[in-house]
Amino acid sequence: MSNGYHIVVCGSLVPDPLQTLEPVTTPDGPGLKNESMLPSVLDPWAAHALYEAAHLAKSVPGSKVWLVSLGPKAKLQQLMMAVAQKASFEFVAVDGSASGFTDSFETAQALAKAIESIAGLDRQRLLLFGGCSSASRDAGTTVGMVGALLGIEEQFLAVDEIVPNDDGSFRVKERIEGAQYLVSECAGAPAVLAWATGNLPEPPNNPQVGMANMRTILPALAKAQAAGNLRGSLRFESVETPTQRRETRVVKDAGIDEIAQELAEWIRG
Partner 1 sequence: MTDSNPGSAKPTLKTLPGDDVRQILWRYADRYDLQMVVQSARSVARGLVARLVAEGARHSHEWTPDKQRLLDAMDEAGITAVAIDPEHGGYIPGPKNLALALVAFELSWVDAGAATASLAGNLALAPIHERGTPEQVAKYMGGAVPAAPGEDRRTLRGAFALTEPIPYVGVDTNTMAGRVRVAEWKEGEEPMLHVDKRGRFITNAAFANFVCAAVASDDPRIKGSCMIILEDTDEGVWDPGSPTLKLVHQLSATNDPIYSLKVPASRIIGGYTVQDGVIVPNYSHAEVIEAVFRRTRVTVGLMTAAKLLSAVEPVIRYHRQRFRGGGQLQPGSPRYELGIQQREDALHRLVDVWATGEAAASLGFYTARLFDEFDPLEREKDRLFAERGIKGARAQLKAFAAVKDAALEFIRLEHMPADKRDTARYEELLNDTLVQFVVKDALSQVFCPATKLWNTGVGANMMREAVSLMGGYGITEDCPGFLGQKWMDAQLEATYEGPEAVQRRQLTVTMVNDLFLAQFRHWIRQMRQIAARKPGTGACTLATAMELWLWTIEHLQKAKDANGDTLYHGQRQGVAFPMADALSWLLASRQQILDVLELEEKGKDNPVLADGFEGTVGFLTDLCHVMAARASGEVGRIAAELVYGYLRHPSWDGDCDSCFRASELEAVASVVPGFDSSPLEVIQDDSSHADKAGPCVRFPGMERFRELRLKLDGCLTGARLAKDRAAAALTEVMIPEALDYPR
Q: How far is the CB of 31 from partner 1 (least distance, A)?
A: 7
| Stretch 75-104 residues interacting with partner 1 (CB under 8 A) | 75, 78, 81-82, 84-85
Q: Which stretch binds partner 1 (CB under 8 A): 112-120, 177-185, 200-208, 224-232?
A: 200-208
- Give the Å distances, CA to CA, from 59 to 49, 165, 249: 15, 11, 37
Distance CA 22, CA 33 (A): 5
Q: DSSP character for 257?
A: H
Question: Is 214 near partner 1 (CB under 8 A)?
Answer: yes
Distance of CA 94 to the CA centre of its chain: 14
Residue 260 near residue 238, CB atoms below 8 Å: no
Q: Of 20 and 244, which has the nearer Cβ to partner 1?
A: 20
Contacts of residue 84, Cβ cutoff 8 Å, sequence gap at least 6:
91, 209, 210, 213, 214, 217
Q: DSSP character for 23?
A: E
Local structure of 265: helix, strand or coil: helix
Question: Is 248 near partner 1 (CB under 8 A)?
Answer: yes
| Stretch 19-78 residues interacting with partner 1 (CB under 8 A) | 19-20, 22-26, 30-31, 33-39, 72-75, 78
Q: Which stretch binds partner 1 (CB under 8 A): 5-13, 119-127, 227-235, 245-253?
A: 245-253
- Helix locations, 188-238, DSSP H: 207-222
Q: Which stretch binds partner 1 (CB under 8 A): 116-124, 185-193, 226-234, 235-243?
A: 235-243
Binding site for partner 1 (CB under 8 A): 16, 18-20, 22-26, 30-31, 33-39, 72-75, 78, 81-82, 84-85, 204-208, 210-211, 214, 218, 238-240, 246-250, 252
